[in-house]
Amino acid sequence: MRQSRIVYFLFFISGITALTYEIVWTRMLTLVFGHTVFSVSVVLAAFMAGLGLGSYLFGHAIDRLHETNGSNSSGNASSALLAYGWIEILIFASGALLSLLFANFSEFYASLHSFIPESVPLQNFIKILFSFGMMLIPTTFMGATLPIISKYCVTDDNKMGAQISLLYALNTLGAALGCLITGFFLMGTFGVLQTVLLAAGANLLIGLSALSIYLEGSPGANWKFWLPPIRIPQLNLNSDQKLWVTISFICGFTALAYEVLWTRLLVFSIASTVYSFSMMLTVFLLGIFLGSLLLIPLSSRIHNIRTALIVLQASTGLYVIGSLYGIESILSSPWNGYNLTQPTDAFLRYFKDSAGLMLVPTLLLGMCFPLLIKVVSGGHQNVGKATGQIYSANTLGAIFGSLCAGFLFLPKLGSQVSLTLVATLNLLTTVLLFRTGDYMGQAVRKGLTVVFVALVLFINMAIPYDLLNPFFMRDSAGKRNLKKLIYFEEGLSDTVAVFKDDYGILDPTAKRLITNGISMSASNLIATRYMKLFAHVPILLVDKPDDVLVVCFGTGQTTGAAGLHPRVKTVDSLELSKS
């Protein structure tokens, strides 16, 4: 069977729909579960878990086609295309049904809270249960698409690296485009539910198109529903394959850990909106696409994949550490990222800052994935299984990387130490690849391994502990004088800094509160007036202001002003930031 180039285009569109699902479903569920770090992390982890499971199960299943078709490559490719068409139709059906469920999920979830105990661990467990349980089926089908389409497209051992790179690049480019148009255009134009149903319709068209191509290539063939039989595969890996699967896990771990940590830093430059998040994710995926694209002409020239991976991992780690020293020049000073009166300027600024921080390391990491599939498969006959193994290990690493960065590294270590730690993991991976290779003699490798580890430790020790403090102290007015810093703390979702304000003898005790690079409030005479008016105006407009709730304590002036009114009986203040 001759491979159709249209299938590559269909796989590109499939990448668009996958990211549309991810963005919209995350938005739908966090509106129900709460827009917290835990909720977002759980939803994304559930999404990625399904992708990994689907790639692993269907990757092994599609490679067992030789049991029925023998060594007939044409028959195997034809069966893979038939399976791909039905998989896309199943994504349409399960994705549309789940989206309709999510659109009406808030009422059910609210009623559930009427009889479950008010226990935070129990509520978090319920969030995990619902997220994984509901998204498992459609995301498993999504994860199956890459190994199945690889079985159809990859037919030549000599061109396997280029073919895998092209598939991965096209799907990732589609994902980046899907992220961009979903965040900047589709949801605002058509609505949230309509956007995801549009994506589901696209999956239906992809599936029908794939089946049409199958019938054209196999006239008179039976196109009734068929999927490769699924069996729990045994994990039989030799020592080299275990190493490559481990490297894939590390690549996924570091990539998603970087994404979480970079998102934290970008808040200081491009604020936190659906537009800035979409741009950040788009640039992240764009870097992976460019890495895969760059590998297409280079794959035939790379004779030692281990050496290539050493260069890529070392370059990633060194770039990230170097970016800590130049962070103030890479990221713009804080500005009003919510002001979209000049959308083109805002768009370009979002892209410049995101690209300066992320594009190079994601490009390097994007080159690793196709190389790992090539080295594990050993030939196109095993490309489905190899894709499933590498993709599932990479996805599992991504889950752990996002959770560790969000719940362990950031709250316990802060942004600088966390980024240094993840970059160190890249550098130590370089050492591991060198140590397990066949470079020089064994004794020389052992000696150089010790030297390299010592060099990595020296790099860590040479980084000043307060390297990012000047960056955190910036606001829209520029750098703040660190000598006037009274208090600073970096929390999970924000940084809080308090400075002595420059008001001289007229207001010698004035202080200023800066959160995430934004000057939020101050205790000087000018700021005090409007902060107190936030309490006075609404209280005076109400006949019986018995109970008052102040959201965000801040400098405490609004809460204090509310307590001065004789008609007010109680004042409660809710602070969103633990810092």
Structural domain count, the chain: 2
Verify that 480 and 497 share a domain, yes or no.
yes
Verify that 280 and 422 share a domain, yes or no.
yes
Q: Tell me whether residue 511 is in a domain.
A: yes
Q: Which of 472, 500, 518 is where one domain is finished?
A: 472
Name the phi and psi angles at 517, rounded to 5: 80, 5
Q: Which helix (H) or strand (E) holds 521?
A: strand 518-522
Q: Tell me whether residue 375 is in a domain.
A: yes
Output the pLDDT for position 21: 94
Q: Which of 441, 472, 503 is where one domain is finished?
A: 472
Q: Which residues of 408-423 are buried (b: 16+ CB within 10 A; e: fewer)?
A: ebbeeebbbbbbbbbb
Using an 8 Å Cβ cutoff, are 160 and 29 in contact? no
> What's the CATH code of the domain at 346?
1.20.1250
- Helices (H), ranges, 113-191: 120-153, 160-181, 187-190
Rounded CA-CA distance 397/386 in Å is 16
Neighbours of 569 (CB within 10 A): 11
Using an 8 Å Cβ cutoff, are 559 and 535 in contact? yes
Task: Judge if pTM exceeds 0.75.
Answer: yes
Verify that 389 and 527 share a domain, yes or no.
no
One-letter amino acid of 487 = Y
Angle value at C-alpha 190, between 189 and 194, nearest 5 degrees: 155
Domain range enclosing 270: 238-472
Q: Tell me whether residue 229 is in a domain.
A: no
Rounded CA-CA distance 353/428 in Å is 28
Verify that 466 and 484 share a domain, yes or no.
no
DSSP string, 191-232: -HHHHHHHHHHHHHHHHHHHHHHHHHHSTT---SS--PPP--
Rounded CA-CA distance 545/551 in Å is 16
Verify that 426 and 529 share a domain, yes or no.
no
User: 3-class secondary structure for 265-287?
Assistant: HHHHHHCCCHHHHHHHHHHHHHH
Output the pLDDT for position 506: 63
Verify that 464 and 511 share a domain, yes or no.
no
Output the pLDDT for position 72: 52
Verify that 339 and 403 share a domain, yes or no.
yes
List all residues 6 or more positions away from 252 whose beta carbon is below 8 Å from its beta carbon.
393, 394, 395, 396, 397, 398, 399, 401
Rounded CA-CA distance 60/58 in Å is 5
Rounded CA-CA distance 97/193 in Å is 11
User: Tokens 């498993």 correspond to what residue?
Assistant: 140
Output the pLDDT for position 65: 66
Cα distances (Å, whole numbers) of residue 560 to 255, 313, 487, 563: 46, 54, 22, 5
Q: Tell me whether residue 45 is in a domain.
A: no
Q: Tell me whether residue 62 is in a domain.
A: no
Verify that 468 and 483 share a domain, yes or no.
no
Rounded CA-CA distance 502/477 in Å is 13
Q: Tell me whether residue 331 is in a domain.
A: yes
Verify that 539 and 568 share a domain, yes or no.
yes
Burial class (CB in 10 A: 0-12, 13-18, 19+), 435: middle
Output the pLDDT for position 402: 87
Rounded CA-CA distance 314/368 in Å is 12
Rounded CA-CA distance 92/392 in Å is 22
Verify that 480 and 454 share a domain, yes or no.
no
**Pairing relationship of beta strands 485-490 and 511-515 according to DSSP bridges:** unpaired
Using an 8 Å Cβ cutoff, are 516 and 338 in contact? no
Q: Tell me whether residue 11 is in a domain.
A: no
Verify that 466 and 487 share a domain, yes or no.
no
Rounded CA-CA distance 329/350 in Å is 15
Using an 8 Å Cβ cutoff, are 246 and 114 in contact? no
Output the pLDDT for position 555: 81
Rounded CA-CA distance 398/58 in Å is 20
Question: How many CA atoms, within 13 angstroms, populate the side-chain half-sphere of residue 277?
Answer: 13
Verify that 461 and 390 share a domain, yes or no.
yes
Cα distances (Å, whole numbers) of residue 187 to 28, 179, 180, 380: 12, 11, 11, 40
Q: Which of 472, 501, 528 is where one domain is finished?
A: 472
Rounded CA-CA distance 381/394 in Å is 21
Output the pLDDT for position 361: 96
Q: Tell me whether residue 370 is in a domain.
A: yes
**What is the pLDDT tens value at each position of the chain, 579 positions in all?**
567 889 999 999 999 999 999 989 988 888 888 766 677 778 888 888 999 999 988 888 887 765 555 545 555 778 889 999 999 999 999 999 999 999 988 888 888 877 788 787 888 888 888 888 999 999 999 999 988 998 888 877 777 778 888 888 999 999 999 988 998 889 889 999 999 999 999 999 999 999 999 988 777 677 788 888 887 777 777 888 889 999 999 999 999 999 888 888 887 777 666 677 778 888 999 999 999 999 888 887 888 999 999 999 999 999 999 999 998 888 877 665 445 567 777 778 878 888 999 999 999 999 998 899 888 877 666 777 788 888 899 999 999 998 898 888 888 888 899 999 999 999 999 999 999 988 888 889 899 999 999 999 999 999 998 888 888 777 666 666 777 777 877 776 677 878 787 766 667 777 888 777 777 777 777 778 888 889 889 999 988 888 999 988 888 888 888 888 888 999 998 887 776
Output the pLDDT for position 7: 92
Using an 8 Å Cβ cutoff, are 394 and 388 in contact? no
Strand partners, 550: 573
